Chain A
Amino acid sequence: MTVAAPGTTGFDPQRSWALHPQVALRPEEFGALAYHYGNRRLVFLKSQALVDLVTALGEFDSVRAALQALIEPTEHRRYEAALARLATSEVIHVR
């Protein structure tokens, strides 16, 4: 069971999400730097696993399915919370 973090209402992990088309990812040693050309926000993706997850997110029917496939079970909660924050910054959007 996951409790939504404050400010993340509207993020439904049962739905299918994808990297926003206006977002560019720049590879960095720690992961990647994401830049949204629409809202002009810079966001740090602080692990390669998160970069891989965000990049592949659009191929899955739901966030949960993507987590199942790509992330260690013990880390699901943390990564789901990270995706919820990325949804707030519009780095990812509902497909």
Chain B
Amino acid sequence: MSAESPLPESPLPESPLRESQARPPALRNDLERGLAAPICLTWELTYACNLACRHCLSSSGRRDPGELSPLEARGVVDELAAMQVFYVNIGGGEPMLRPDFFDLLAYSVDHGVGVKFSTNGTRLTRARAEQLGAMEYVDVQVSIDGATAEVNDAVRGHGSFAAATAAMGHLAESGFGRFKVSVVMTRHNVAQLDALAGLADRYGAQLRLTRLRPSGRGADTWDELHPSAAQQRDLYRWLLDRPDVLTGDSFFHLSALGEPLEGLNLCGAGRVVCLIDPVGDVYACPFVIHPDFLAGNVRAPGGFTEVWRESSLFAELREPQSAGACASCGSYDACRGGCMAAKFFTGLPLAGPDPECVFGHGEAALAATTPSAVPRPGADHSKGARGVTPVRLPSPTRRPVHA
């Protein structure tokens, strides 16, 4: 049974030698100084995607001709195994569009690197679901962004809800076990929280909610899609009541509202998490595909290991960070100033409030930014012009890809 017990969602479930608090600050300090290897690594296998979601973090669409070859990808797995990275979060693009996807999956789990992968479900047939169910250490996460086709398809494209729910049906019927349904919270689906939980339940799946970031194509749609301040508070209360709902430590900015949410409640970028993109570029986290956060490339002589251990960017991120304008706020210890990527792509200083600061400090800071000075996301692989987002669904054949 491959997915009865989920891969650890949050990198900080337990510490046996603890003091009275549930989250000892000493451990957080250790984590902020960085680990010998990431514990939550995202690996985007391809920029190719048959959807064109309006908030895509990686601006995916076209396959990059410089994508890691199957041999190079196996080399990355070898390194992760040697570094004892116990599991990896695979995404894209749509990772199932990579011709060697299942080979790589098998190679990875055979080498002790468990895989959780995210998919839009368009390629997840009944046969594929059965194949996945027979594998150990594989977990699947199907993305939807609404409990109804209307709300979902407005963001992910016409027909995408039907495709995702069909895949969920295949997983449920094939006996795969408990998979995950992953939802990016937007202004249009916060009201559907209960319905989303019900939907996941009907398929025997676990619900996972993540935060919308102004990254990738999300930079252009964040203003329109990000939840309102009132919705953020609703979401916080909803999550507090449901510790079984996974969040990938996504909403730690909301912990400033009082009781901390489950998870690390800190920015793990370059410290405990990072991103390997389809061409082997290593970024501090999945939400900062931009030259300022590029630490190196796995094709360089020292490989991923050297990037993780020696990059000057990561060394900098592991230094104590300044609270900046947040220093005088009594809640800084709860939210740690929020998400670096959210600040960066809305033009806010990294030492200062998150744009969605629960006390409204972010909105005030946003009003003072100069739009022309806001950084643009890097590595755009969108098929159409930004904001047009054509949707082709599903595309049955792909052009051949280089070895």
Q: Taking CB as reference atom, which chain A residue is nearest B10? A: A42
Q: A26-B37, A29-B33, A33-B39 are in contact. Are A44 and B6 (CB under 8 A)?
A: no
Q: Which residues of A contact B137 (CB under 8 A)?
A: 37, 40
- Residues 42-67 of chain A, each 1 if its beta carbon lies under 8 Å from chain B, else 0: 11111100100000000000000000
Interface string of A74-95 (1 = CB under 8 A from B): 0000110111011001010000
- Report B356-380 CB contacts with A as 1/0, cut-off 8 Å: 0000000000000000000000000
- A28 contacts B86, CB within 8 Å? no
Which residue of chain A has its CB nearest to the CB of B24?
A: A46
In the bound complex, residues from chain A placing their C-beta under 8 Å from that of B18 are 46
Q: How far, in whole Å, are A38 and B1 apart by their CA atoms in the complex?
A: 11
In the complex, the answer to whether A43 meets B14 with C-beta atoms within 8 Å is yes
Report yes or no: A50 in contact with B5, Cβ–Cβ below 8 A. no
Chain A residues closer than 8 Å to B6, beta-carbon distance? 40
A70 within 8 A of B: no
Complex: A78 Cα to B17 Cα, angstroms: 8
Among the interface residues A39, A42, A45, A89, which one has the most CB atoms of the partner chain B within 10 A? A42
B13 on the A face (CB < 8 A): yes
Instruction: Give chain B residues whose Cβ lies under 8 Å from the Cβ of A89.
Output: 14, 16
Interface of chain B: mostly helix, strand, loop or mixed: loop
The answer on a CB contact under 8 Å between B37 and A44 is no
Which residues from chain B contact A50 at a C-beta distance below 8 Å? Answer: 16-17
B12 in the interface (beta carbon within 8 A): yes
Instruction: Kindly state whether residue B389 has any CB partner on chain A within 8 Å.
Output: no
Q: How far is the CB of A86 from chain B (nearest CB, A)?
A: 5
A7–B201 alpha-carbon span in the complex (Å):
29
B37 neighbours in A (Cβ, 8 Å): 26
Question: Which positions 4-53 of chain B face chain A at CB distance < 8 Å?
Answer: 5-8, 11-18, 26-27, 30, 33, 35-37, 39
Q: How far is the CB of B22 from chain A (nearest CB, A)?
A: 13
CB atoms of A43 and B17 under 8 A apart: no
Kindly state the separation between the CA atoms of A89 and B14 in the bound complex, as whole angstroms: 9
Q: Is the CB of B86 within 8 A of A35?
A: yes
B84 at the interface (CB under 8 A from A): yes
CA of A38 to CA of B5, assembled, Å: 8
Which residue of chain A has the shortest Cβ distance to B15 in the bound complex? A44
- Judge whether B263 is part of the interface by a CB distance below 8 angstroms: no
Chain B residues with Cβ under 8 A from A26's Cβ? 36-37, 84, 86
Write out the residue numbers on chain A whose beta carbons fall within 8 Å of the beta carbon of B112.
24, 37
Q: Which of A33, A81, A82, A89 has the most CB of B within 10 A?
A: A33
B8 touches A41 (CB 8 A): yes
Is B114's beta carbon under 8 Å from chain A?
A: yes
Q: Which residue of B lies closest to A44 (CB)?
A: B15
Interface centre among B5, B14, B33, B35, by most A CB within 10 Å?
Answer: B14
Q: Which of A38, A43, A45, A86 contacts B13 (CB 8 A)?
A: A43
Q: Is A27 interfacial (CB 8 A cutoff)?
A: yes
A39 / chain B contacts, CB cutoff of 8 Å: 5
Please encode chain A, from 12 to 32, with 1 for each CB lying within 8 Å of some chain B CB and 0 for all others: 000000000000101111100
Cross-chain pairs A/B with CB under 8 angstroms, 26 sampled? A24-B86, A24-B112, A26-B36, A26-B37, A26-B84, A26-B86, A27-B36, A28-B36, A35-B84, A35-B86, A37-B114, A37-B137, A39-B5, A40-B114, A41-B8, A41-B13, A42-B11, A42-B39, A43-B14, A44-B12, A44-B27, A45-B17, A46-B26, A78-B17, A82-B16, A89-B14
Partner-B contacts on A (CB < 8 A): 24, 26-30, 33, 35, 37-47, 50, 78-79, 81-83, 85-86, 89, 91
Q: A42-B8, A79-B17 are in contact. List 12 more A-B contacts (CB 8 A).
A: A26-B36, A26-B37, A26-B84, A30-B27, A33-B39, A39-B5, A40-B137, A42-B14, A42-B86, A46-B18, A50-B17, A85-B14
